[in-house]
Structure 1
Amino acid sequence: MQPESTPLLSVENLQVHFPIRAGVLQRQVGAVKAVDGVSFALNRGETLSLVGESGCGKTTTGLALMGLVTPTGGKVEFDGQGIKGFNRNALKAYRRRMQIVFQDPFSSLNPRQRVKDIIRAPLDIHNVGTKEEREARVAELMARVGLRPDQADNFAHQFSGGQRQRIGIARALALNPDVIVCDEPVSALDVSVQAQILNLLSDLQRDLGVSYLSISHDLGVVEFISHRVAVMYLGKIVEIAPKTTIFSAPLHPYTELLMRSAPARDPRKRHSFSATNDDIPSATRKPSGCSFHTRCPFATALCQTTEPELTARADGQQVACHHR
């Protein structure tokens, strides 16, 4: 299914800062700027992947959109409505339309509950249907994600890692959401199982039209599942582009560094770019100007003093760089 042009989810200047406290009175002496001004749009039926090194803020971004961490600032619109002013009922309805699949398929499942109860939980919370309709929905969801009906009474520890992730996906699908945040959904699985789960996610998007905000550090996964890719560095997006563009013609030096870090099937297509410094600055003391200038071989005095804005280039590509 091709994504529509009208954004379903719009994020503008999202910020999530965690205070650092010290002393007997626990006064705030600083902040970890995990997400520091992130803006993007997610279209209907589209997969947008957030990529970057560990600690860049991609998971925190997803948790903030789910309401699992409180944003410090910024604006989030879902289907044309800003969620900041939502009352309790409106927020509950929003969460019904936006679900999440977590990275660890075991710790995200209640070990004391049977699979049928885990998958039915969203239906119970939102009081959807009768008891019989909920049971039928659970059976339908298990079949859709490739689980057998006779496994409904089993507990999570009785399943393999891939099967546990299928349970998580079934639970996320229970309320027919418009958006699913996929937080490293295959990173804890064997390679062969990864392919099965990725194919399942692709099939579900084709059949149901669901949008994915995919969070990953695995460029192979990103290349397989994405329509567009947003590259994050130290809490900011430095480049957004269609998948084919980001892999064939990246503009930002950091994106080039990521592409170079991935194994190339064809040695002739390897990027020659290398960073001048492998040490990533702390999120508590970010460099002035462009955050990447401490590692960038193209950095100038302008990069050290002035932060570049994310600006549009050709073919839907956006980049935050003074020299690209």
Structure 2
Amino acid sequence: MTLVVQPGISPAVSVGADAAALAAGEASLRVYELAGDVLSLGRYHLLPSAPSGTRVLLHRRHSGGRATAFGDGFIGLALTLPHRSALVSAEPLALAPAQVMNRCVRGILEALKAAGVAAFYPGRDFITVDRRPIGLVSFEVGPTGALLFEAILANRRDFGLLPALLDEVDREGIVAAEMLAAEDTTSLARLGRALSLDDVATLVRCGYEQGFGLSFDVAPAPAPAPVDEGRWLEQRSVRPHLDRRGTTRTQLGHLEARFALDGAQIAELMLAGDFIANSPAIEALERELSGCVARSPAIDEVVQRVFAQPENFVLGIGPLETIGETILRGVPT
């Protein structure tokens, strides 16, 4: 298994590195820092209309989940594996989707323990210390079945930075994010345990070696896959012709459905928000809902059919019926 350490890279380089790792489907761990002030969007967030000249960089992860602060003062981790269960089994579907992060996060928890930090994973998408978030986790499973587990650790700054970043790049409030005050978050520095990038890489490496019997070879960063950064960021953006909108408050934040109607049918639909899902499932769901009658039984039948496939999942929204309920909130009565 390879270990790559990358200080001070750009969001585009990071996204390209993860794209290359997912395409290769080989076991690797990348520990890195993004330079500058960065707003990290989940895969399914709508792109804010940032004013020109802003100092804040935008980053869209391959995985879903919440929008969060990133960049200087934070450390990113990207664990790529051949499939979602590879840490514990040769059978790709041995772990249920809800179990994946519980296993993948254990190497990080061991690393923090070794650094003198009593961190806990309570489920969902946060790593906490005394109930205050110190890390954010999420994951993607690509079309080939390869897993990308992503984590962001608050090292010298904390997630309380998010409101300031959003104030600068999202003045229209397009990204519906949960605001965490500084006193409700923490960081390694605030705990007196700030670490260098190399220290984090060493500790996390040892955590996965001890927890799962892995072995690592330090390697130079491979060439990232070419990424059209503008197109990658704009894959989820406001589309004026999708003039119907429904929203639901969920476990991780919000689920939003933007769509257009053609009579009684959904002509086109885009889901957005804070959920975690494998991207092929969301692509299939949006495609199959286009042309569907905008009524509960028909929508629910499509949703159930897509997620009946064992490789597909969506986390952080509660029951699958939430998707249909969200869409119907945007249908005129």
Q: Tell me which interval the TM-score lies in, with the shorter structure as reference length.
A: under 0.3
TM-score, normalised relative to structure 1:
0.25
More helix by share: 1
